[in-house]
Amino acid sequence: MSAYRLYLLICGLGSFAARTAFTLNLIYQASIGLSPLQLVLVGTLMETVCFIAQVPTGVIADLRSRRLSVLLGYLLMGAGLLVWGLLPSFGAILLANVIWSIGAVCVDGAEEAWAADEIEPALVTKAFLRGGQLGQAGSLLGIAAATGLALFGLAVPIVAGGVLTLALGVLLVVFMKEQRWSPAETRGSWRSMGRQIADGVGAVRRSTLLAGIVAGTLFAGMSSEGFDRLSQPLLLPFTSFDETLVFGGLAMAAALGSIALTGLIGRYVDTTHPRRVGELMTVLQVVTAAGMITFGLVGQWWAAFGLYLVVRLLRDTAAPIMTIWMVSATSAESRATVFSIQAQADALGQVVGGPPAGVVGSRVSIGAGISVAGIFLLPAAVLFSLAARRSPLSAERSSVSR
């Protein structure tokens, strides 16, 4: 199997398994007796583990093997989901969360770095766009699968997602190759790990482009946590049908719209030019911020549901665009580490940005909390705009020293 086809399979099957497991996960946790505080602690633990483990796992991917990092990641995520679904207790879910989060950060960054190195250069941009579409399609099918499997018990979709994730890890053991990349440093050396971290941080500090992307990602993370936690409670008063069906249907509609929008971007926007990609990211953030701020202020049900779909659609579409931009801005030697630094900024932003939006949501209104989350996105748009100006016009002139 070619690296291109294997990457598309990873995107589609991985997203299907994850969405199957997590679509009704919060309802499952509430059903086994977790209190609101325990539910918050589960989410806080996840973001904390992701923040701590991001850079070390990225360094391991750069120093030893991207393939090994991805394999371990999917196997750990699968094992974590099995513990999550088979042992219905708060302690077990915390343990499962740690296992899953470490696996997730092993994959994060290493998967994109592996694809950028192993896929034919002429197909890399196409792979990330098509992979984004297949990931969205997998999520769409996963929502439907979770809804159907939940008829047999709320734990069943989580266990099914775990089994599929483990199966993907085993499949990658057989088919995933690493032929076009090898580590430049001595493997396994603590000194090498320190140098790799220093090189990754140095690449960000020396590059106005990368510094702008990482700083913008921090504010985007601050925005996302408030929207994720408060958007569904805001819509609940407008919901007169079964909440599972309503929010499942909204997620499916957003996934379909994102698939279509990503396809249009791939067809009509030249994503091989880094500056154009950066400008597109800026536009997406501006429109998303406007949608979130307005979403928090509207009082009509049709406007609220419509804006919710728009924001979900734009956020899903931005993910593959960011991947393309990051690949063009990084060198192969430190790519996974820099990806991990960017993901760490996102995790830190979520930890920092969630409480202010929650406080405003509690003291003023839920809508006001969401609008505050939208305001957090405006600095991200400014930083992405500045970074876009530092991006080269063509991929051939791309350089991390800009």
Type of residue at 326: M
Q: Torsions phi, psi of 398, nearest 5?
A: -65, 140
3 and 118 in contact (C-beta within 8 Å)? Answer: yes
> What letter does residue 333 receive in the DSSP assignment?
G
User: Domain of 299: which CATH number?
Assistant: 1.20.1250.20
Alpha carbon distance 185, 381 (integer Å): 37
- 134 with 209, same domain: the answer is no
pLDDT in tens, 40-77: 677 778 878 887 887 677 677 767 788 888 999 999 99
Tokens of 355: 């409480």
The domain of 136 spans 1-180
pLDDT given at position 218: 92
For 244, residues 6+ apart whose C-beta sits below 8 A from its C-beta are 24, 27, 147, 150
Alpha carbon distance 278, 390 (integer Å): 9
pLDDT given at position 92: 94
Mean pLDDT of 288-317: 89
> What letter does residue 119 receive in the DSSP assignment?
S
Tokens of 108: 């994060």
- 247 with 380, same domain: the answer is yes
- 239 with 147, same domain: the answer is no
Alpha carbon distance 26, 47 (integer Å): 16
- 196 with 253, same domain: the answer is yes
User: What is the separation of C-alpha 70 from the centre of its chain, rounded to a whole number of angstroms?
Assistant: 15
Type of residue at 366: I
- 106 with 253, same domain: the answer is no
Length, in residues, of the chain: 402
Cα–Cα nearest to 44, from 357, 362, 360, 355:
355
Question: Where does a domain end: 162, 180, 198?
Answer: 180
- 347 with 367, same domain: the answer is yes
Q: Torsions phi, psi of 188, nearest 5?
A: 80, 5
Question: Where does a domain end: 180, 198, 231?
Answer: 180
pLDDT given at position 36: 54
pLDDT given at position 52: 82
Alpha carbon distance 330, 326 (integer Å): 6
Higher pLDDT, 85 or 330: 85
Mean pLDDT of 313-336: 81
Measure the CA angle with vertex 300, ends 299 and 302; round to 5°: 140
- 195 with 155, same domain: the answer is no
3-class state of residue 2 by DSSP: coil
- 175 with 193, same domain: the answer is no
pLDDT at 82 over 60: yes
What is the chain's mean pLDDT, rounded? 83
Kind and range of the H or E element at 152? none
- 136 with 256, same domain: the answer is no
Tokens of 28: 């499952």
Tokens of 82: 């099995």
Q: Judging by beta carbons within 10 Å of its beta carbon (0-12, 13-18, 19+), is residue 256 exposed, middle or buried?
A: middle
**Distance of CA 105 to CAs 150, 239, 265, 399, Å?**
28, 35, 28, 26
pLDDT at 291 over 90: yes
pLDDT at 192 over 80: no
Mean pLDDT of 90-110: 91
Q: Which of 39-43, 75-79, 205-209 has the lowest mean pLDDT?
A: 39-43
Question: Where does a domain end: 180, 214, 237?
Answer: 180
Does the reported pTM lie above 0.85?
A: no
> What letter does residue 65 receive in the DSSP assignment?
-
Cα–Cα nearest to 86, from 72, 71, 96, 99:
96
Cα–Cα nearest to 140, from 242, 45, 19, 244:
19
- 330 with 363, same domain: the answer is yes
